[in-house]
Amino acid sequence: MCGIAGYLGLAPDPDLLERMGRAQAHRGPDGDGIFVDGPVGLSHRRLSVIDLDAGAQPMTTADGRYTIVYNGEVYNHAELGAELTDLGHQVRTRCDTEVVLEAFAEWGADAFDRFNGMFALAVWDAATQTLTLARDHFGIKPLHVTRTASGAWLFASEIPALLATGLVPAAPDDTTVYRYLRHRVHDDGRPTFFAGVERLLPAEVVTISPTGVERRNFSTLRDDLTRTRPAEHGTDDETVRDFRARFTDAVALRLRSDVPVGTSLSGGLDSSAVVVTIDRLLHERDGDAGRGDAGRGDAGPRTDHVTAAVGPRQSTFSAVFPGYRNDEESYVDDAVASCTRPIAAHKTRPTSDELRRDLLDFVRTQQEPVISTGPYAQYRVMRDASCAVTVMLDGQGADELLAGYVPQLVVHLRSLVRTHRWAALPALWSSRDVVGHLLATRPNPLRRRRTGVTALLAPRFTASHREDGYRVEGDDLRSRLVHDLYVGSLPALLRYEDRNTMRFSIEGRVPFLDPNLVRAVFALPDDAVIHHGWNKRILRDSMTGRLPASIRLRRNKIGFTTPQHDWFREQSDLLRDVLTSASFAGRPYFDQPAVLAAFERWVEGSDDFDSMVFWRLVNVELWLREFIDPATDPEVTTMAATPGVTAPVPAH
């Protein structure tokens, strides 16, 4: 896992490339390099994971034509390398970078759809003077682009690397800020919170040549998923076995590593499924040892690499919150107890005081506002994990793939009522606990109309964006799942994970987002996803006998989050300091008197607003201080002058 950056259209400038690299050095503490060729410059920071002694970048083909900087892991690189060797290419190392480069030399941008993994890359073609940028099928790895006033292109894994050039003015994108404050959305398209800075979309390839700029998708995966319309019913034991085998394949592929691998365990179904699947792979590998074969999981790939990557015992890392309502420690313990082999279970116990201490580093880490303090739990887990492992697997993507969110269940139920009428009653009855909890916790609609978040925003700001809306699919489950995979949910979660892992020089891997697995799930009958009001039916069934009922049949989804509501009451003085500050008062976004009145009512127990609203206000203010307000050095963001807040010493 690495950090990449570069330019096209500038005079040769090695110093600029060095600045870009330093701005994201945490992404690659194991090596660095630059490449300059006429109008193009490439920068790379390396985190060594595969073939530690080879794979330095930028990397150039033997004929000198193609040069690459690459961030990611292509898990099927060994298979692709064998295919390329048969086609006459010389693959001299075990690193996937060389395979990715040779694949591009052979197939051009069509190579990207062959990759099973995560990647963001830039390839310079010296013969045609063409720069190709691309991002993986789901946008797991980030890539940002912008143009300078002179028309030159800049790109980087992280936005601070663009700012470090001094060629990109740090200014907020007001529409993105509004959509975040008003609709609670972000990362749902190309725009970022920084004016003029865009992200490549999932599966997007951008080609910049002397003849112009072309943007297109290299894969039809999203369209294929949208068009897939399988039968409503038909899930049986064979279907479950096939899913379990495919999921095992996806996990086993992501255990290919020359450095230690651990697992992020929240106690929920998804991460617990990853943990017990690794446990089963280790068990089966040990059982096959000495029999002369490679050992296999459920019809999975070769697993002789599994023990080497995981070590003598699997390491799990969890955030728990003793004494709070959303504590999941008992589920974490149940998942660990269900494994057949010893587990090194690490637990971190964040507190509101620690959030206060870490807050500004967390804001810097994420680089753009986040929807809640939930990602701070992941931040803490990754900080602790960095002392023991370099790679972490987790369950990200399963909710979007298998309807893990309550709104997706509501879409399904609404569709059943519309198409089947009275026949939908059994599903409605089975879902009564989930739907009842949703209705019980939803704010009073009359009160919400009177006290919507726009009441806390500056009237001129809201008036200038009154035409901006946000609509999600509300009638068709399959369309909603595709929307959440590519727009509504997953892009933001993947950004959180990338920044939190790379802040501590960890590579995060997400087996549920294996493209082959995703295609297979969308081809399953509808009742494999939701059956009689139970979501994730195929995953739940596949974990029978592997996970206890306490996890396999859980309905109360929590995930990696924090007890934010309680924490904010404990740290109300911190929030008050931010909201009463002169800088907050001077922003064009907020109505400070209205915000302060609402906040004091909330502190006293009012439910007109929840903690999520106040977090968004505070997060925007702290982000503006860190990234937008004037700084003396474009490479260094200043510490916001918030009383009681300090930043920890970086781990690397």
In the chain, the domains with their CATH numbers are 2-218 (3.60.20.10), 231-288+304-404+489-553 (3.40.50.620), 564-628 (no CATH)
514 annotated to a ligand binding site: no
Contacts of residue 352, defined as CB under 8 A and 6 or more positions apart, other chains included, come to 566, 567, 568, 570, 571
Please give the DSSP secondary-structure letter assigned to residue 258.
S
Tokens of 97: 């970078």
Residue in the structure block whose two tokens are 């003793």: 322
Cα–Cα distance list, 265 to 93, 238, 253, 449 (Å): 33, 28, 19, 39
In DSSP terms, 43 is beta-bridged to: 5, 34
Residue 8 Rama label (left phi>0; alpha psi -120 to 50; beta): beta
Instruction: Quote the strand ranges of 353-487, DSSP E.
Output: 391-393
Q: What is the pLDDT of residue 631?
A: 63
In terms of pTM, does the model score above 0.85? yes
Please return the burial class of 7, using the count of CB atoms within 10 Å of its CB with bins 0-12, 13-18 and 19+: buried
Buried residues in 634-643 as b, exposed as e (16+ CB within 10 A): beebeebebe
Residue 2 annotated among the catalytic residues of the structure:
yes
Residues of the chain with pLDDT under 50: 289-301, 445-450, 632-652
Of 143, 131, 134, 142, the residue nearest 100 (C-alpha): 134
Question: Active site residue: 2, 95, 339, 387, which one?
Answer: 2
Q: What is the pLDDT of residue 581?
A: 98
Q: What is the pLDDT of residue 440?
A: 59
Of 35, 27, 38, 24, the residue nearest 57 (C-alpha): 35
Q: How far apart are the first and last CA of the chain?
A: 15
Question: How far is residue 285's CA from residue 288's CA, in Å, rounded to a whole number?
Answer: 5
Report whether 560 contacts 332 (CB < 8 A): no
Element of type H or E holding 282: helix 269-288
In DSSP terms, 343 is beta-bridged to: 314
Q: What is the pLDDT of residue 646?
A: 39
Residues in the chain: 652
Cis preceding linkage at 643, omega within 30: no
